[in-house]
A and B are shown apart, each in its own frame.
Chain A
Amino acid sequence: MRVPLSWLREYAQVPADAAEVARRLTAAGLEVESAEPVGHDIGGVVVAQVLSIEELTGTRKPIRYCRVAASRRQLDEAPAGASAVICGATNFAVGDRVALALPGAVLPGGVEIGTRKTYGHLSEGMICSAVELAAGDEYAGILVLPPDAPLGEDFASYAGLRDEVLDIAVTPDRGYAVSVRGLARELATAFAVPFTDPADAGLPGPGVLGGPLDHAGPDVWPASIADPTACDRFVLREVRGFSAEAPTPLWLQVRLARSGVRAVSLAVDVTNYLMLELGQPLHAFDRSKLSGEIVVRRARPGERLETLDHVARTLDPDDILITDSSGPISMAGTMGGLATEIDQASTDLVIEAAHFSAEGTAKMSRRHRLHTEASYRFERGVDRELPLRASAKAVAMLASLGGGRVVPGAIHVSVDVPPVLISMAAHYPDRVAGVAYGRDTVVRRLREVGCAVRETRIPAPTVAPWRASPPEPPELSELSELSEPSEPSEPPAQVPVSALEVTPPSWRSDLTDPADLAEEVIRLEGYADIPVRMPRALAGRGLTRRQRLRGSVGRALAETGYVEVLSSPFGSGADADLLGLPPEDLRRNAAAVANPLADDEPLLRTTMLPGLFRVLARNIGLGFADVALFETGLVFRPRPGAPDSAPILPVDRAPTVAELASLEAALPDQPLRLAAVLAGARELDGWWGAGRPASWADAVQAARAVARACRVPLDIRAERYPPWHPGRCAAIYARVAAEPGDGSGNGSGNGGPRQWLAGHAGELDPRVVGAFGLPARTCAVELDLSVLLTAADGIGPVQAPQLSTYPLATQDVALVVGADVPAAAVESALVAGAGDLLEDLRLFDVYTGSQVGERRKSLAYTLRFRAPDRTLTVAETTAARDAAVAEAARRTGAVPRS
């Protein structure tokens, strides 16, 4: 909220400059974002009187050549000595008082005014408009001052232009502070000076209102409340014989402008002014456009209203309306209707001041995307005791400034609202802050806030009196399945301290709980004075294994040349087509955002790849052709048969296990994925020789590196899976022990180890490469880290190897197999056949060519044997090698190469 400091000073006379005001308000929780000096740079502008006007001819637009007196002497000696000024405005007459910038004057923003020759005359200064003086925000000709404006007086002083404008970020809980009244109260408290409540000060008396404040007015337009949940107080007052032409006084214009509110007309300006000052939104109807009793009610199906912004709105049955016999005439606390708007011909005004439901106005303004100064305040809570006062001030101001007559009394409809009473242990703020304030301080601070405080001897029952009764015993036992059983709750200790029975003031609807009261005490005492108590060391268990492994995976890839990036998790339905996914592919089933950031990207990713492809393309576009990227993140897979929506559970107790399960069931599955893409050279050309392009093998190797970091053994098989190249796609399976896990993966029978599909790696299908505009032979891997980490959970601690120091014996074998026999199959056969003496084996050559025959290949291995307890004989190692070859022959048809 923007507010001139001079306005606040009117109600809290603080002995401090703007900087100190800003500091103390901020310390109290009203963050002053800026304190901007305004008007201090204005100089040389004086109140002057127009002596003569000569309309120049032959100009494109009307131009006046005027003589203006800037002092009594000049007036008396006129025309000699008076300034001659050229002026382009025509809204003034001889005898009017105006603001004259003399040669040498400075206007806001440092604009200097000099003597200049224009339209064939010498112009000695400038007659100013409100905009030029930063005293208004809209150009409406030059500023014509009241006839009693003192001639020759410094205009900035006269109009009170020298000021500071505070811009205060009011948090949404502090509705009362969206007003001069609320801010001045805070300021008075912060400086411990008296506060004058503008809701009480300057109220019109019976002479104006025809009786006391709540005096009923039989002649005032009738009104009633049909829905007490929508509105609990509704006040109407009337002014008749008002002159719509009457100007808004300069001081009021200046305050509105400084507060960032546009001047419109006297009637609107007065209601806005009082809204700014008191926080009570007001609405003025043209009495001649009303028909029948005004009723506050909810909308009926099909009702429509054209609002002041010329939008015809279809109303929702939940909307709160002001209606008359013609139907809706205003959206309560949000925006008035066009048909009953006051205009230049309006003479009889009906002023509405009401207290509408905060929730109701919030819903309505959100539903209609109609956020106004009024709805902003009602959403945050308006003082229920203001309508009678604010409306009284309004009619009195309108009558005195607009020349009308106040109709005696008011229509005042009110619904009884039970008072809020908060019972709080007197030492509760001390317990929250860790500071011993003491009861007296607590009581004093609460009273400064405006609370009525009564001290009792009965201990406050609880800090959460609104809590629902504890759950039924069966639910308690259910809950204990979910969480570690906690110790049974002890009854709260009966501390022999007094309780405070606190009634918050009518303007503090945000104060409902002891915690709210504690915050008031603590912030007014000062957050700065809360001590710093350094933490004791706790018995934490450190990162979980899954968390540690995730770090290892990221480091493993980074250390082999992959650059981690973050890509957008949003995508379009076209991505699935670009990936070449078949119609039934589960990756086509994506969650959609109802209000997406970009209309063409409404879907949440089901695979990491399209996002990474776009990042890859972006980097290549920036000139980085040799790139290896990776990302870890969640993908979102709606669960088949999930409910339409997640329920909104109660909050006055813990949810039951069944209730929590109903939330989880509605959420998509969100596995953690890792994906990497490679393009260009994996090894660069250089002085060391030729490099080599990234290939499917690098993608598979990345999968191996990830699995190795997780210590999960893999099985790699050739499979076809879009978007990979059908002949260069490896399916990555995690090998898991038989017993653990709830087996989400493809089990391979009972007993032996099982395999879970963990992802795919290889070269991308050329069509996909083309569709995403990627370089030829781009490779990719996508792994389900959740699967790998779960597989890792089943793996026990590393068992140290037994290191034999007996000599190594090596045997090389070359085996010829069919071209389509996977090397992995040959290798596992060799391992199985060689037995325990095999220390390791390595494929050192793959040969295809005429020597081994068509559609055959030769695989050459080195087998390394070693025994734990003896030196192996040649016969032993040869026997082991032969057994390995025999097993390879049996499983894969391998033939030793001759």
Chain B
Amino acid sequence: MSNSYYEFFCPVKVIAGKAALEHIPYELSGLAAKRPMIVTDKGVRAAGLLDPIIAACEESGLEIVSIYDDVPPDSSTTVVRDIAAVYRKEKCDSIIAIGGGSAIDTGKAVNILVSEGGDEIAKYSGAGVLKRPLKPFLVVPTTAGTGSEVTSIAVITDEKKGVKLPFTSSYLLPNAAVIDPRMTLTLPPHITAATAMDAMTHAVESFTCMAKNPLSDAYAAAAIKKVSHSLLQVMDNPKDSDARLELAQASTMAGIAFSNSMVGLVHSLGHATGAICHLPHGLCMSLYLPYVLEYNLETIRGPLGELLLHLEGPEIYSATPASRRAEASISALRKLRDALYKRCQLPRTLKETGKVTEEQLDQIAEMALDDGSIMFNPKEVTLKDARAVLQRAWA
């Protein structure tokens, strides 16, 4: 695999660690923002996650002018327009998105409308439409998985047309991502597991797919090490805030890695399965990861073998002959999945999900072939290949 040319870009300031939330007022003032609006969902508010942020701002004399807490799991153009209207009415001047992938994507889209004007977000869909910086924008992730705080893409559903609109521009990137362990402390076990496996998949695919490069490799490897080291620790002791912070950082690092080197077939299959069977994204990632690595094995033997060091540590790495390391990496991931199954029944096969029928596999395979991420899979995938991987993932 040639990496004779690459591009790497991540201008997001990362603010991470204990008492990170208390840096929000200072960061906003540095951006000349005085009237921030919070964009979030009901779950985040109910979990009390807004309280420390609001308190931190008030203590610095910064008033949160408006809170929109009704972002649905699948954000739509209507929601974006409504939020933009509130933003304008309340004369806000900046956005803080707090939540998982949907709240963050919504924040990005709202930022387009309130910066560029108008009510039609669809107009800005596509690549490279935006030509100038948007309003001050901070992101506080409350799951450790999607990495959306460092990606330059947002996906919003156009309900009327029934299509998903992609928006890509480096101007969608927030000015800062605030990673505070308090935000993920109450995440339930199955969501913790699934989202961490999403981060793991971002890192593994980034490290083994076609656009891999030395800089994204460094982020990906470090992310894999953190997830391998901390995920089970968090599962066994959910209140371990050090380990929680490790997962949250891993998620951001994996996000930086994959937004620069893209993902592959695990995501193609996962996106299709999510759309057809309505399974959570992280669950699909965990489910497909080993089967896809087995499919890609001969093309990615080198890099996959290197990952054993980060998955299992130096002792096992050095005790494993070089020719067996790629297989050992896959075994390590399978072992991790078994451990997660034991702790929170995170499904390892499509059958275990109880939500997929064998008849749906053809449809999933066909849809996966149309997914953009398939272009970056190191090995060419035909319909027959995709179907075979799905069959192996069945039971």
Partners in one complex: no
Interface residues of B (CB under 8 A from A): none
